[in-house]
Chain A
Amino acid sequence: MGSLYALIALGYTMVYGILKFINFAHSDVVVLGAWFSYVFAVKTLPAMGIPPDQATWWAGGLVLIMAMAACAAIGFVIERAAYKPMRKAPRLNVLITAIGISLLLQNTGQLNFVFGARPAGMPALVPTTPWSIGGTGEPGSFGVKINPVDVIITLTAVALMVALQVLVYRTKLGSAMRAVSHSIPNAALMGINVNFVISFTFVLGAALAAAAGFLYAIKYNLQQTAHPSWVMLGLTAFVAAVVGGIGNIRGAVLGAYLIAAVQQFGSLYISSELRDVYVFAVLIAVLLLKPEGLLGKVTREKV
Chain B
Amino acid sequence: MSTLQSHISRHAPSWPTALAKSALPLAVIAVLATLMHTLLAPAVGPFVTNVLCNTGIAIMLAVSLNVVNGFTGQFSIGHAGFMAVGGYAGGVITYYGSLLLFGSPAAQEGLFTTGSLLFLGGCLLGGLIAAAVGYVVGLPALRLRGDYLAIVTLGFGEIVRVLLTQTGDVLFTADEVREAGVLKTVTSVGGALGFGGVPWYNNLFWTTLIGGIILLICYRLKRGSTGRAFLSVREDEIAAQAMGINIAQIKVRAFVISAAMAGVAGVVFAHQPGVALNPNELNFNRSFEILIAVVLGGLGSISGTALAAIIVTILSETLKDPPTVILWGLAAIALSLGLSVTRHFGERRATGAALGALIGGVLAAVLLAAAALKYGEGLRASMNAIVPAPAAGAASPAPVGLWIAALLLTTLAVLGAAKWKTARAGVAVRCIKIALIGAIIVAAVEAWRLLAGALGVDLGAYRMILYALMLILMMLLRPQGLLGIHELWDAGRLLRPARAGKGAKA
Q: How far is the CA of A89 from the CA of B477 in the complex (A)?
A: 11
Are A242 and B75 CB-contacts (below 8 A) given A273-B162, A291-B144?
Answer: no
A287 CA to B150 CA, complexed, in Å: 13
Known: A86-B476, A277-B162. 11 other contacts (CB 8 A): A95-B147, A96-B295, A97-B475, A99-B77, A226-B461, A228-B283, A235-B158, A274-B162, A276-B162, A280-B159, A291-B144
B465 at the interface (CB under 8 A from A): yes
Verify B148–A100 contact, CB threshold 8 A. no
Report B-chain residues with C-beta under 8 Å of the C-beta of A117: 461
**B residues 68-83 touching A (CB-CB < 8 Å):** 73, 75, 77
- In whole Å, how far is A231's beta carbon from the nearest beta carbon of chain B? 7
Q: Does the CB pair A101–B468 fall under 8 Å?
A: yes
Given A107-B462, A108-B465 in contact, is the A287-B146 Cβ separation under 8 Å? Answer: no
Nearest CB in chain B to that of A228: its residue? B283
Distance (whole angstroms) from the CB of B137 to the closest CB of chain A: 10
Residues of B within 8 A of A288 (CB): 140, 143
Knowing A96-B471, A277-B162, the reply to whether A284 touches B154 (Cβ < 8 A) is no
Residues of B within 8 A of A97 (CB): 471-472, 475-476
Quote the shortest CB–CB distance from A152 to chain B (angstroms).
31
**Does B117 count as interface, using CB distance less than 8 angstroms?**
no
Contacts of B43 in A (CB 8 A): none
Q: Taking the complex as formed, is B151 at the interface, i.e. its CB lies under 8 A from any CB of chain A?
A: yes
> Separation in Å of the B67 CB from the closest CB of chain A?
15
Known: A91-B146, A92-B75, A99-B471. Is A284-B465 also a contact (CB below 8 A)?
Answer: no
A238 touches B151 (CB 8 A): yes
B155 contacts A283, CB within 8 Å?
Answer: yes
A residues 183-242 touching B (CB-CB < 8 Å):
226, 228, 231-232, 235, 238-239, 242
Please state if A273 and B462 are interface contacts (CB–CB under 8 Å). no
> Scoring A residues 90 to 123 as 1 if CB is less than 8 Å from chain B, else 0, what string do you get?
1111111101111110111011110001000000
Knowing A85-B476, A91-B146, the reply to whether A284 touches B462 (Cβ < 8 A) is no
B469 at the interface (CB under 8 A from A): yes
Indicate whether A303 reaches chain B with its CB closer than 8 angstroms: yes
- Flag B269-299 by CB within 8 Å of A: 1 or 0 each: 0000000000000011000100100010001
Are B475 and A86 interface neighbours, CB within 8 A? yes
Residues of A within 8 A of B163 (CB): 277
A166 within 8 A of B: no
Would you call B461 and A110 a contact (CB within 8 A)? yes
Taking a contact as CB atoms under 8 Å apart, the answer to whether B469 and A242 are in contact is no
How far, in whole Å, are A283 and B149 apart by their CA atoms in the complex?
Answer: 11
In the complex, B464 has a CB within 8 A of chain A: yes
User: Which positions in B face A, CB cutoff 8 Å?
Assistant: 73, 75, 77, 140, 143-144, 146-148, 150-152, 154-156, 158-159, 162-163, 165-166, 238, 283-284, 288, 291, 295, 299, 455, 457, 461-462, 464-465, 467-472, 475-476, 479
Chain B: CB-nearest residue to A102: B468
From B155, B288, B479, A235 is in contact (CB under 8 Å) with B155
Residues of B within 8 A of A94 (CB): 475
Q: What total of chain A residues lie within 8 Å of the partner, measured CB to CB?
A: 48
Interface-centre pick from A101, A235, A280, A283 (highest chain B CB count, 10 A): A280
In the complex, what residues of B have CB within 8 A of residue A82's CB? Answer: 472, 476
| B461 in complex: contacting residue of A102, A111, A231, A238, CB < 8 Å | A111
Please determine whether A107 and B147 come into contact, CB atoms closer than 8 angstroms: no
A22 at the interface (CB under 8 A from B): yes
A-B contact pairs, 19 of them (CB 8 A): A21-B147, A89-B479, A91-B146, A92-B146, A95-B147, A100-B467, A100-B468, A100-B472, A103-B468, A106-B464, A111-B465, A226-B464, A273-B166, A274-B162, A276-B162, A280-B155, A284-B140, A287-B143, A291-B143
* A residues near B465, Cβ cutoff 8 Å: 103-104, 107-108, 111
B475→A100 contact, CB < 8 A: yes
Are A100 and B471 within 8 A (Cβ)? yes
Q: How far is the CA of A92 from the CA of B475 in the complex (A)?
A: 10
Query: B148, A235: Cβ atoms under 8 Å?
Result: no
Are B461 and A284 in contact, with the CB atoms below 8 A?
no
Query: Which of A93, A283, A303 touches B151 (beta carbons < 8 Å)?
Result: A283
Given A92-B146, A93-B475, A287-B140, are A107 and B468 neighbors across the interface (CB < 8 Å)? yes
Say how far A228's CB is from chain B's closest CB, in angstroms. Answer: 7
Set of chain B residues within 8 Å of A92, measured between Cβ atoms: 73, 75, 146, 299
Complex contacts, B470 vs chain A, CB 8 Å? 100
Question: With A and B bound together, what is the CA distance between A260 and B488 in angstroms?
Answer: 50
B238 is contacted by which of A103, A279, A303 (Cβ under 8 Å)? A303
Query: Nearest-CB distance from A262 to chain B (Å)?
Result: 15
Q: A287 to nearest B CB, angstroms?
A: 6
Which residue of A104, A110, A291 contacts B468 across the interface (Cβ within 8 Å)? A104
Inter-chain contact A107/B464, CB cutoff 8 Å: yes
List the B side residues contacting A112 at CB < 8 Å. Answer: 457
Residues of B within 8 Å of A279, CB to CB, are 155
A144 CB to nearest B CB, Å: 32
CA distance A92 to B165 in the complex (A): 31
Establish whether residues A242 and B151, one from each chain, have CB atoms under 8 Å apart when the complex forms.
yes
B462: A residues at CB distance < 8 A: 107, 111
User: Which chain A residue lies CB-closest to B470?
Assistant: A100
Task: Note all chain A residues with C-beta closer than 8 A to B154.
Answer: 235
Interchain CA distance A286-B457 in the complex, whole Å: 46
- Verify B147–A22 contact, CB threshold 8 A: yes
- Chain A residues near B299: list those with CB within 8 A: 92
Q: Is the CB of A284 within 8 A of B238?
A: no
B279 → chain A closest CB, angstroms? 12
Q: Please measure, in the bound complex, the distance between the C-alpha atom of A279 and the C-alpha atom of B77, giving whole angstroms.
A: 18
The answer to whether B468 and A91 have CB atoms under 8 Å apart is: no
Q: A93-B475, A107-B468, A276-B158 are in contact. Are A291 and B148 (CB under 8 A)?
A: yes
Contact A287/B148 with A93-B479, A277-B163, A280-B155 known, Cβ cut-off 8 Å: yes
Alpha-carbon gap, A250 to B284, bound state (A):
31
Q: For the complex, what is the distance from the CA of A90 to the CA of B469, rounded to whole Å?
A: 19
Q: Are B152 and A100 in contact (CB under 8 A)?
A: no
Find chain A residues with CB under 8 A from B471 CB.
96-97, 99-100, 103
